[in-house]
Amino acid sequence: MPVHAVVFPGQGSQFAGMGRDLAAAFAPAREVFQEVDEALGERLSKLMFAGPIEELTLTRNTQPALMAVSMAVLRVLEREGGFDLAARAALVAGHSLGEYTALAAANSLGVADTARLLRLRGDAMQRAVPAGEGGMAALIGAELEQAREICVAAAVLRIEGAPDRIEVLEVANDNGGGQVVISGAAGAIGRALEIARERGVRRAMVLPVSAPFHCALMAPAADAMREALGAAHIAPPRLPVIANVTAAKVASPDAIRDLLVRQVTGTVRWRESVQAMLAIGVDDFIELGAGKVLSGLCRRIAPDARARSVGTPEEIEDLLRSF
C-alpha cells in the first residue's frame, strides 16, 4: 500500500483566478472562502478569483489566499469525498506559509485564526525591510554548500579607504533538485549573482518578491509573530507535521510556536523535509492547493516516488478515484 504525505504550497504558487472553479463547483469550498473573508473583514476571495495579480501578489494577500485555496480543496475532499486526512496520510508538511496551512489541516490551528496570523505575518514581513533595501535570488544548478559559500563571499562589501562591511546574505530555501534561494541585502544579492556566474552556477536570477524573506533582516517580523503566536490557540496536531526549520516532526503546541517564529528568519529546509518523509516510507506526495510547484520539487528530490497536485475539481475527482 502507498504511504501518502499531503503537502501545501508557499508563496509563488498564486495566480489570478485561483479557487474560482472550486467555489463554482463546491459548497464546502465556498464556506472556506467565506470564513477567510469574514476573518479578515474583506473580500479576499474576490481578489483571488478576479485579480489584479499585482494586488494578489502582495505578501499580505498572497499568504492567506494560498492557505484558503489549499483548505478549500481539503474541505471538499473531506465533505464531498469522505477523505479522512488522518487516516489516509502519514504526515503533512508545507513550504514556508504552507506550514501554517499544514497545521490548519492537522486541526492544530483554526482556519480563521490561520488567516489572521498569515495576514499579520505578511504585513510584518513587508514592514521589516524598506522597499528596495533587500531581495532574493534563485541559484539554479547550485547545491546547498556551494550556495552557502557564495553567500559568505558576496556578503562582504568593500569600500575603498574604509573597513569591509558584512551585509546580510543567507540561504532562505533549500528547495532541492539543484535549486537554492538566497535572501538578504540588495547589494549583496547583486554581488552574489556575479559570483555565482563566475563559479559556474547554471542560472542565477533575482526573484520578483517584495522583501527578503527567511533571513536575519526579518527579525522585526519574527518579533511580531512571537507575540501573535503567543496569544494564538494552538492544539496538538491530529497527525504528524514536518517543520520547515528542523525538517523533523513537531507535535507540542509550545514547540510549534517556537518553530513558527524561527521560521521567519530561518532556512526552509524543504529538500531535507522530503528526505525525512521518504525515510519513514512515504512514496506518494499529494500537493493540495494552487499551482504545481511542490509536486515538481518532490519529483526532483524523489524521482522514484509519485508526486501529484490537486487544485481543480477534475483533480479532486481523480484523487478520490485513486483511493
Q: Which residues are catalytic?
A: 96, 214
Other C-beta atoms closer than 10 Å to the C-beta of 194 total: 12
DSSP 227-241: HHHHHS--PPPSS-E
Q: Which helix (H) or strand (E) holds 151?
A: helix 144-154
Helix (H, G, I), strand (E, B) or coil at 15: coil
DSSP 178-199: TEEEEEEEHHHHHHHHHHHHHT
Please compute Rg for the chain using Cα positions.
19
What is the C-alpha separation between 290 and 310, in angstroms, rounded? 8
What is the C-alpha separation between 268 and 260, in angstroms, rounded? 11
- Check if the beta carbon of residue 238 is closer than 8 Å to that of residue 102: no
The C-alpha cell that represents 257 in the structure block: 510556536
